[in-house]
Amino acid sequence: MSRVLSALARHAAINPAALALESGAQRLCYLPLLEKVTRLADFLRRRRPRVLALHADNGIDWAVADLAALAAGVPLLPLPTFFTYAQLEHAMTQAGADLLLCDRPALFAGLAFVTRAEADAAPGTDSLVAMSRACMAASLPAGTAKITYTSGSTGEPRGVCLAQEALEAVALSLQQASGAAPQDRHLAVLPLATLLENIGGLLVPMLAGATCVLPGMAGTGLSGSSGVDVPRFLHAIGASRASSLILVPQLLHLLVLALEQGAPRPPALRHVAVGGAPVSPTLLARAAAVGLPVFEGYGLSECASVVSLNRAGALRPGSVGRVLPHAEVAIAGDGEIQVRGAGLLGYVDGPAHRDADGWLATGDIGHVDADGYLHLEGRKKNMFITAYGRNVAPEWVERELTAQPAIAQAAVFGEGRPFNAAVLVLRPEVSAGAAEAAVQAANRQLPDYARVTRWLPAAAPFSAANGQATANGRLRRGPIAQRYAQALQQLYCEDTHGLLR
């Protein structure tokens, strides 16, 4: 039996009028939520889809559909609304989705999805339409409950198949680590189609009997994969009376910057989890200085999201926290982090690559200190060796660069070179002089071999739209290097003083 559904039924019986979901003026308490979930689950059992796809904005209907798929035992494919049409087509075709719940049916007309007159509206929802199609069945691992697609380091997303037990084990660990309680109000800032927000922002509140606030992406000021309306973002946090948030580093940076400039600190906020990409220790220190309770964590889709997390009473800035109860971590001889527990069942297009004892190689380099805190050092495949034989993890340098208010994004290169160079995305109205001062300030936090000697401004932000970043903000270094190859080469040709430093 699902722990989440058992908790939902328990809350509905014991405290039926407790507020479960809130979306603008819409409010749904636990008992009517259970009724909606039951209605939609019954509908899904009758339709018997092999795989159910879900494409909708954050809202009550998204949550109902997610829980109903769990109740009906139907594998769910959440589709990020920022995916391109080609990515949506790839994910649904590869996963064999034969039923779709969506709030924008016209978007999928070209993919042979059609409505049936007797079941156009999805029962238990106000905005979702059910559309079906004939398609080839995918060979999914037995027990698949959710298929999560991430844009990863290539343009074509890959489907990770996860079991209900893995998803709920992570949710239970996060509930305990975050201290989630019935009085909490979690504001879902990130799309629910992303695994981190799905588990931490919906399943955790449901376990705790708390409230999940779902204003939709426009309501939180987010658009696409990286657009942010900062005033609206700040207003959403205050107006929601949020006690918890999940942020990526760039959103944390914007929140810290706003508080440093005099914006009022959200009074109810007690737990801000940050992950998805490395976080600069300088940014974490600035967050602490303005009174933000920020807790950095680490995870990956193949491990059902979160593996480790800092928490109240067990906080070590610079680390990604201690490993959560459902997981184990080991460090291989070359420094690669290996994880066991709540692992993927496999991929849509093939098996998982684990050793005989169940350890999954993450591709991340790190170490565990004497007190059990996990520290990240970079991606194994991104590590480069300078002309002087020094190993440099570019993420380490980039964290220090983007901790500077003048620099929004940074990509660092130096393989086989006498010094490191960077492509920088500067914030609006930042002068070349201010940018150079920011680079030097970051360099003061680094040893000489890791410092940036020369840099050039990017023509545009690194984004999923131009293929230079993944949807969650991780850099795609190959396309960036290719786009700026000539300009970077010119930096090395022009620079002679770099050799003398």
Tens of pLDDT, residue by residue over 387-403, are 777 888 898 899 899 98
Rounded Cα distance, 152 and 293, in Å: 29
Alpha-carbon Rg for the chain, nearest whole angstrom, is 23
* Sign of the torsion angle spanned by Cα atoms 383, 304, 343, 208: positive
Residue 500 has pLDDT above 50, yes or no: no
pLDDT tens-digit profile of 401-456? Answer: 998 999 999 999 998 888 999 999 999 889 999 999 999 999 998 888 889 999 99
Rounded Cα distance, 44 and 156, in Å: 29
| CB neighbour class for 394 (10 Å; exposed up to 12, middle 13-18, buried from 19) | buried
**Are 310 and 320 in contact, with CB atoms under 8 Å apart?**
yes
**Are 265 and 291 in contact, with CB atoms under 8 Å apart?**
yes
Long-range contacts of 465-471, Cβ-Cβ distance < 8 Å, separation of 24 or more = 465/224, 465/225, 467/155, 469/225, 469/226, 469/409, 470/150, 470/151, 470/152, 470/153, 471/80, 471/82, 471/83, 471/150, 471/151, 471/194, 471/225
Average pLDDT of the segment spanning 54-58: 97
Return the domain boundaries, the chain.
3-368, 384-500
Q: Chain-wide mean pLDDT for the chain?
A: 91
pLDDT tens-digit profile of 464-477? Answer: 889 898 766 788 99
Which helix (H) or strand (E) element contains residue 209? none
pLDDT tens-digit profile of 337-362? Answer: 999 999 999 999 888 878 778 899 99
E strand intervals along 19-177:
19-23, 26-29, 52-55, 76-78, 99-102, 129-132, 144-150, 158-163
pLDDT band at 151 (very low <50, low <70, confident <90, very high): low
Structure-block tokens of residue 199: 């588990």
pLDDT band at 499 (very low <50, low <70, confident <90, very high): very low
Task: Provide the 8-state DSSP code for 121.
Answer: B
Is CATH 3.30.300.30 the right assignment for the domain spanning 384-500? yes
Rounded Cα distance, 257 and 290, in Å: 9
Number of H helices, E strands in the chain: 15, 27
pLDDT at 76 (0 to 100) = 98
CA end-to-end span of the chain: 64
Compute the half-sphere exposure of residue 453: CA atoms within 13 Å on the CB side of its CA. Answer: 21
Task: Provide the 8-state DSSP code for 24.
Answer: T
Q: What is the pTM of this model?
A: 0.84
- With tokens 């994910």, the residue in question is 91
pLDDT tens-digit profile of 20-47? Answer: 999 999 999 999 999 999 999 999 999 9
CA distances from 177 to 78, 158, 288, 321 (A): 26, 29, 19, 11
Residue 237: how many CB atoms within 10 A of its CB? Answer: 24
Which residues face 130 on adjacent strands?
A: 101
Residue 377 has pLDDT above 50, yes or no: yes
- With tokens 């999560």, the residue in question is 148
Most confident of 161-170, 373-382, 392-401, 458-467: 161-170
CA-closest candidate to residue 484, choices 458, 453, 450, 452: 458
pLDDT at 431 (0 to 100) = 95
As assigned by CATH, the class of the 3-368 domain is alpha beta
Which residues face 246 on adjacent strands?
A: 273
Q: What proportion of the chain, given as a percentage, has pLDDT over 70?
A: 95
**Are 331 and 338 in contact, with CB atoms under 8 Å apart?**
yes
